[in-house]
Amino acid sequence: MEDPYVKYTLPKEIWLMVFHQVGSQWLGECRLICRDWNLLVQEVMCGQKLKFTNVDKISKFIYYLENNPNMATCIKYMFLTDVGSLALEMKLLSLALTPKIRLLEGEMSEELFGHLLDIAQKSPKKFGELQSLPNFSRARPIGNSTTTPNYYNTLLYFKESLTRLNVTMRPFEVPGQSLCVIPRLNEFGNLTELNLDLCGMQHLGDQSREYIVLDNILSKCTENLKILGLVWDRRSTLMEKNDFKNWLMAQDVKQAPNVHTLKLGIVHTPLIVEYLLYKYQNVSELLIGNLTNFSERIWEEVKDINKIQIIGSIPGSGQVNSNLVSTEEFTNLLQNMKSTTNQLQILQLLDNNSSNDLFDITKCKSTGITQFNIQMYGYAQAIHKNIVSLVSPVSRLEIDYTDYPMEYMDEEFSIEHTEQLNIDRVERVERVERIGRAERFDNNEQPAMNEEFYELLQIFPFDKLNILADLTLFGNDKTNEDICEELSYSSMPNLKNLTLRTCFCFEEEHVISLPEADLESLSLFKTSETCFEVQKILLATKKTEPPQKNFYLLAPGSSPDYKKISEDDASNFQDNITKIYLAFNSLNSLKINLNDHAINVKFDEKFQIVEASVSLNA
């Protein structure tokens, strides 16, 4: 008799397509649903990006492959880190590597590169699909030098299939080892991305000769090259721009139309930028990983590129010597990088071991958007306030202060920082009085607020929120609520999306009030430290105009249940329930994130629940 189950079974190819759309954390659950899915799910899981970042992960996967050796042929992508256990790492490669492997990323030691090369050379089938190799992590010491023959021999062995190549010339390597690859770059016929670190190249003492040597290296690449990454640490004596361009023409520097993306590890001088953009005139994307020179000459050279990302240390902060880099030039850079639409992210960390505050700016002409990212170690300084003021108003603002410890006021710190509190107190009191919140202060005492909240107030652009559409706050629940209370006195006519991460805790009461706001979405995140599952939530909504109050008992689950209750019933609930009070003029949707899943609530124009559902978090 024909099995009736057969007619409802999809072909293997269809199931594989379905499972490829399922997040990795849920694939394990699929294995338990249907016995026939087990093998297919394993194939999909082995075909995804496999990351091995510690000994425990490697040991578990070795055990799995020893019991399922056929799964090795499904492995396409491995990310490796040097965990310090060479024997374990070698065993992993021996079990996992087959000619089906396509991408190896991360980092490996010299010995591990030798083992990889040995596996490939002994394989009866060619490793013809491998497109990338990991970065080099540790060299074998020989006297005062290091030797890396396995690394470079491995690069050359896979030269026909590699599409991405990382070559580093180290200051202390055995002379000539990296030179066995660099002169043969033309043999890497499928190479589309080259990352070249020439910090270890011998200084020739003549900037003209050094640029000639660099051009000879880059000219060996084939026309397939699309992405070039370069670390060039020369601090060349400046030539005038026209003189340098004339010199490049006189040297017959060959221009190449193929490269569209440049990634520069460090820029000390405009010359390297001018040389590369002269050679590669079709560059549409530029990344400068460490800009130490803010001269207008660099901006004039890059301003017409479609997408520019610039990273560097903020002058006048930490231990950065503002005399070496002009604060005025940095200010001009900020102004030049602004677009029609500007977004700002501020990450504030209390880390005494770090000295340099960082900026990361990305401008895209085609979208008309610039993303400004500021990373501060310690407390807000004048330069940080100036940056926020310069780039504001912004359409999207994100402030992350989750690294703040709950209590950090030790004796040494309190003396120094109390002085700063006193310095800024007058300005703060004036602003609070202006918005009607002077009751927070006493004339003879420090502001009645926690330090974390105070620090945020120093950099928050309260007076420039007129075009703000998206606001995200990362921090504890009380500070988030205090910020929202401050914001309720600011004009934010365009605010549509509000996200409060690490916002609410188990069995606590939370109030989020922006009475004038007409929001499209509000997202709340439960604190990751909470070890209890939220069983029930008392959700209260208050509409400003016309006045309307609603109270609901919300029960999280696979099919969230909600029940409307009276205000009297709501007031009778004890403290052993999570309470969320929302006060807005209007809100379309609420998302409550509970670790691995989220409750999605939709409201009508009266701020009443019309639908509740659950979704899985990636």
pLDDT in tens, 102-119: 999 999 988 999 999 999
Are 477 and 522 members of one domain? Answer: no
pLDDT above 70: residue 25: no
Give domain status of residue 586, yes or no: yes
Q: Is residue 188 within 8 Å of 165, Cβ to Cβ?
A: yes
Mean pLDDT of 422-439: 33
pLDDT reported for residue 456:
72
pLDDT above 80: residue 34: no
Are 473 and 617 members of one domain? Answer: no
The residue segments making up the domain with residue 364 are 318-418+450-486
Domains identified in the chain, total number: 2
Instruction: Give the Cα separation of 536 and 577 in Å (integer).
Output: 6
Give domain status of residue 121, yes or no: no
Mean pLDDT of 411-439: 33
What mean pLDDT is reported for the chain?
Answer: 80
Mean pLDDT of 506-523: 85
pLDDT reported for residue 432:
33
Give domain status of residue 358, yes or no: yes
Give domain status of residue 44, yes or no: no
* Higher-confidence position of 457 and 256: 256
pLDDT above 60: residue 535: yes
Are 520 and 454 members of one domain? Answer: no
Q: Which of 163-177, 202-216, 523-537 is modeled with the greatest confidence?
A: 202-216
Kind of pairing, strands 578-594 and 396-400? unpaired
Are 333 and 460 members of one domain? Answer: yes
Are 507 and 544 members of one domain? Answer: yes
- Which ranges of 292-370 does DSSP label H, i.e. alpha helix? 296-302, 327-337
* pLDDT band, residue 5 (cuts 50/70/90): very low
* pLDDT band, residue 49 (cuts 50/70/90): confident
Out of 486, 514, 545, pick the residue that ends a domain. 486
Q: Is residue 123 within 8 Å of 151, Cβ to Cβ?
A: no
pLDDT reported for residue 134:
93
pLDDT above 50: residue 144: no
pLDDT above 50: residue 186: yes
Are 480 and 584 members of one domain? Answer: no
Out of 461, 486, 511, pick the residue that ends a domain. 486
Out of 458, 486, 514, pick the residue that ends a domain. 486
Are 466 and 374 members of one domain? Answer: yes
pLDDT above 60: residue 51: yes
Q: What is the pTM of this model?
A: 0.81
Give domain status of residue 377, yes or no: yes
Mean pLDDT of 431-436: 33
Are 510 and 541 members of one domain? Answer: yes
Are 476 and 514 members of one domain? Answer: no
Give domain status of residue 329, yes or no: yes
Are 606 and 534 members of one domain? Answer: yes
* pLDDT band, residue 26 (cuts 50/70/90): low
Q: How far is CA 149 from CA 109, 114, 136, 140, in A?
A: 11, 8, 12, 9
Instruction: Give the Cα separation of 258 and 188 in Å (integer).
Output: 15
pLDDT reported for residue 396:
96
Q: How far is CA 91 from CA 58, 80, 84, 231, in A?
A: 9, 13, 13, 34
Give domain status of residue 540, yes or no: yes
* Higher-confidence position of 350 and 224: 224
Tell me the pLDDT tens digit for each residue of 351-371.
655 567 889 999 999 999 999
Judged by average pLDDT, the poorest of 31-35, 336-340, 581-585, 602-606 is 31-35
Are 527 and 573 members of one domain? Answer: yes
**Percentage of residues in the chain with pLDDT exceeding 70?**
74
pLDDT above 90: residue 315: no
Task: Please state whether the peptide bond connecting residue 270 to the residue before it is cis, i.e. omega within 30 degrees of 0.
Answer: no
Mean pLDDT of 413-433: 34
* pLDDT band, residue 521 (cuts 50/70/90): very high
Give domain status of residue 435, yes or no: no
* pLDDT band, residue 561 (cuts 50/70/90): confident
Are 410 and 537 members of one domain? Answer: no
